[in-house]
Structure 1
Amino acid sequence: MTDDTTDDWGGQAGAGGSDPEEMTLDELREEIRSIDRELVELIARRTYVADTIADVKAAHDLPTTDEAQEQAVMDRAGDNAQQFEVDSNLVKAIFRLLIELNKVEQREQR
């Protein structure tokens, strides 16, 4: 923590700016529900952009798979994981799933 009200990401610590250690179990679970919703929203946004990329690839007759780009995404995911002190193998596994999801959808669109 940088101070009493902000977390390491610059946002409010916990619901309503409370110290997470002073929050009730229900408040903490509500915080998780909120984060989960945000994660799903971000996945939906990412999928929309990936679908748009698929349209551009199809219009220019480009291959669905771009291994160099996939590696760049994985490297960036690992770097971001380290920055936020999250297990980089876990984060990379999640990104591998996201990439595979997008590739399947791109193939289905063609």
Structure 2
Amino acid sequence: MSSPAEEMSLSELREEIEDIDRELVELIARRTYVAGTVAEVKAQQDLPTTDESQEARVMERAGENAETFGVDANLVKAIFRLLIELNKVEQRESR
């Protein structure tokens, strides 16, 4: 039985990575849009920008999802910290 690396050429593998990268950016854009909507709701309800308990839940889920998919949990959590910080900056700027 041959491995996927033997079945796909380097250029095909790189195209696959390009597709995945595009999907990742699309997902980040979707997440940012929804987070922006959350910011609007927080502003309407006069709630603080930062919700540490929600951030902790997001980080816990990120770690659990990383383990489910066999990805380094610390790496995934670092990415989510960046996403959370991005959203917090945008929420502060929109107020």
Fold shared, TM-score > 0.5 on shorter chain: yes
How many residues align structurally?
A: 93
1:58 aligns with 2:43: yes
Q: Which runs of 5+ in 1 are unaligned?
A: 1-18
RMSD: 1.2
Q: Which runs of 5+ in 2 are unaligned?
A: none
Partner of 2:53: 68
SS at match of 2:27: helix
Please report the TM-score for the alignment, with normalisation by the length of structure 2.
0.95
Identity of aligned residues (%): 77
Please report the TM-score for the alignment, with normalisation by the length of structure 1.
0.83
Q: Give the aligned residue type for 1:49.
A: V
Q: Which runs of 4+ in 1 moved over 4 A?
A: none
- Aligned partners of 1:32 and 1:81: how far apart in 2? 19
Equivalent of 1:47 in 18, 29, 32: 32
- Aligned partners of 1:45 and 1:20: how far apart in 2? 31
Partner of 1:38: 23
With CA pairs under 8 Å and 6+ residues apart, which has the higher RCO, 1 or 2? 2
